[in-house]
Structure 1
Amino acid sequence: MGLLRTLLTLPIALPLNGIGWVAGQVAQAVDQQWYDPRRVEAALLALERRLEAGEITEAEFEAAEAEQLAELAAIRAARG
């Protein structure tokens, strides 16, 4: 009965398993990009450039920098 059930449900089970696999691959790629410290480091450099160009004030820079540094610390903690 197990083999018959498998054969009969194959047209439904196979696409569902494929969708699950694709969703897992997408989630893994998103996690890799989201938890990439280079993303935060680039944001910190951009903040510094904006400060030097006079686009933001020192107070705005410090607030944004604190957020970015907290995010970087969280990423490093999550990575171990």
Structure 2
Amino acid sequence: MGLISEVLLLPFAPVRGSGWVIEQVVREAERIYYDPATVRTELARLEERLDAGEITEEEFDEQEDELLDRLESATRRSAGTDNGWTG
């Protein structure tokens, strides 16, 4: 960008900076959410909750399916084959 456009856009610098920060937070949240180790830990905790009688078999099955979908998506992401489709 030229000097003039930089000077004219200077008042919008806080907005652009905030957008960058939000983007970084979203990336980190997605990294943690799709981390296979995190998903496996959650699966183990889910099984512990079932064994302790804290949740029903039906609740376990629903939550397990969601976690396994996340794990599959994490595997695709790490392999570079995820095309953004979540269906």
Shorter-chain TM-score above 0.5: yes
Higher-Rg structure is 1
The SS at the match of 2:71 is helix
- Quick one: distance in 2 between partners of 1:37 and 1:29? 14
Mapping for residues 1-80 of structure 1, pairs under 5 Å: 2-3=2-3, 5-6=4-5, 8-80=7-79
* Percent of aligned positions that are identical: 40
Q: Which has the higher contact order (CA 8 A, sep 6+)?
A: 1
Q: CA RMSD in A?
A: 2.4
Q: TM-score, normalised by structure 2?
A: 0.64
Greater fraction of residues in helix: 1
Unaligned 5+ runs, structure 1: none
In 1, Cα distance between equivalents of 2:59 and 2:42? 14
